[in-house]
Structure 1
Amino acid sequence: MAKIVLREDFIKLGQALKAAKLVGSGVEAKIVILDGKVKVNGQVELQRGKKLYDKDVVSFAGETIEIVKE
């Protein structure tokens, strides 16, 4: 499971996918999110701007990312 360490209080879903290198661009992130291919904490998420906080878990394309606060 990959981890993304928060520098602020939250990171947006599209930014998290890019930071984890699961997508190559914001446009690609938008497409996979709107297609219902991304889950946050086990639920399909359709908002690219969804704010992710400490302990949130994102799943996409067989990969899992955990959001952690330093």
Structure 2
Amino acid sequence: MKTFTLKGEYIQLIQLLKALNWVEHGAMAQYVVEEGMVLYNGEVDFRKRLKVRVGDVISFDGQEVKII
């Protein structure tokens, strides 16, 4: 499992997907979230602007990252 160090209180889910280079651009990030392809702490979450915080785990396309 990868880790991602948060530099503030939170990062929006679609911004995180772009920062990790798991998607090529913002439109693709929005699409994969809307289609339920991203897991937030083990469950599908459709909120594009979801605030991801320290301790959360995000999974997408066989990859997983823990926010530290």
TM-score by length of 2: 0.96
8 Å contact from structure 1 (residues 38, 60) kept in 2: yes
Alpha-carbon distance between aligned partners in 2 of 1:17 and 1:65, rounded to the nearest angstrom: 10
Identity of matched residues, %: 35
The residue aligned with 2:44 is 44
Give the secondary-structure state (helix, strand or coil) at the position aligned to 1:65.
strand
Any idea what SS the aligned residue of 1:6 has?
coil
Query: Post-superposition, which runs of at least 4 consecutive aligned residues in structure 1 deviate over 4 A?
Result: none
Identify unmatched segments of 5+ residues in structure 1: none
User: Partners in 2 of 1:18 and 1:5 — Cα distance?
Assistant: 14
> Is the 8 Å Cα contact of residues 2 and 20 (structure 1) preserved in structure 2?
no
Q: 1:28-62: per-residue Cα shift (whole Å, max 9, x none)?
A: 00000000000000110101100011010000000
Residue 11 of structure 1, CA deviation: 0.6
Matched residues, number? 68
| Partners of 1:20 and 1:65 within 8 A in 2 | no
Give the secondary-structure state (helix, strand or coil) at the position aligned to 1:17. helix
Unpaired runs of at least 5, structure 2: none
Scaled by the length of structure 1, what TM-score is found?
A: 0.93
